[in-house]
């Protein structure tokens, strides 16, 4: 009979050299492991997808299990911007300012059809996807996406965070990509 202890997954250590009393690995892998398990999300919720996020944070789905318990409503202390809901064009500059106030490294999760593409609101007033104003790392489909899908999106972000090179943010390609959004 399996016990609770049998079902607990412990985080895997990175690849490295191991012997009695020592373990050596690459700095990038250790930093990636620490970052992956201590993401501080900033919820930017404007409409119904935000309600799904509330369920995701509740006791049943419990996003805190993924090291994301501490939500930040200050961009300066957050590293994952979660955009959830319809973004009107008027709201665009506000969203961009929030993104710019976050320090590197920062990641963006676009939750739901509206944030990702404007959704059903193909109108003059709605932004047809937040990637028109800020770069997006992972898109979560659905209208609305269920909490499981939001958790899946966070796990995809975690996989990205874990494998990201420490030098990526200093690369010419990354800076050129930000420049296409008018961000220095």
**Interaction site with ligand SF4 (CB under 6 A):** 47-49, 85-86, 112-114, 119, 143-144
- Helix, strand, coil content of the chain in percent (nearest 5): 45, 15, 40
Rounded least distance, CB 106 to ligand SF4, Å: 23
What is the pairing mode between strands 138-140 and 80-84?
unpaired
H or E stretch at 41? strand 41-45
> What six digits make up the tokens of 136?
């997006």
Rounded least distance, CB 176 to ligand SF4, Å: 31
Rounded least distance, CB 83 to ligand SF4, Å: 10
Which is closer to ligand SF4, CB of 25 or CB of 46? 46
Which is closer to ligand SF4, CB of 42 or CB of 49? 49
Which is closer to ligand SF4, CB of 68 or CB of 116? 116
Asked if residues 145 and 111 have their Cβ atoms less than 8 Å apart, the reply is yes
Rounded least distance, CB 110 to ligand SF4, Å: 10
Which is closer to ligand SF4, CB of 117 or CB of 164? 117
Which is closer to ligand SF4, CB of 140 or CB of 161? 140
What is the pairing mode between strands 22-24 and 138-140?
unpaired
Q: Does a cis peptide bond (omega within 30 degrees of 0) precede residue 105? A: yes
H or E stretch at 109? strand 107-111
Rounded least distance, CB 120 to ligand SF4, Å: 6
């Amino acid at each position: 009979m399996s016990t609770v202890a049998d079902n607990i997954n412990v985080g895997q250590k990175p690849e490295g050299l191991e012997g009695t009393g020592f373990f050596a690995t690459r700095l990038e892998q250790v930093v990636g492991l620490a970052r992956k398990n201590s993401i501080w999300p900033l919820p930017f919720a404007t409409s119904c997808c935000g309600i799904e996020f509330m369920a995701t944070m509740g006791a049943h789905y419990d996003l805190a299990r993924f090291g994301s318990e501490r939500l930040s409503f200050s961009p300066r202390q957050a590293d994952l911007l979660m955009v959830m809901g319809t973004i009107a064009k008027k709201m665009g500059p506000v969203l961009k300012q929030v993104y710019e106030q976050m320090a590197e490294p920062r990641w963006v999760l676009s939750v739901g059809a509206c944030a990702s593409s404007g959704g059903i609101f193909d109108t003059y007033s709605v932004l047809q996807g937040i990637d028109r104003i800020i770069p997006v790392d992972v898109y979560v489909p659905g209208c609305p996406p269920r909490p499981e899908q939001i958790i899946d999106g966070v796990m995809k972000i975690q996989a990205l965070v874990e494998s990201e090179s420490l030098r990526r943010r200093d690369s010419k390609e990354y800076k050129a990509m930000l420049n296409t959004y008018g961000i220095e």
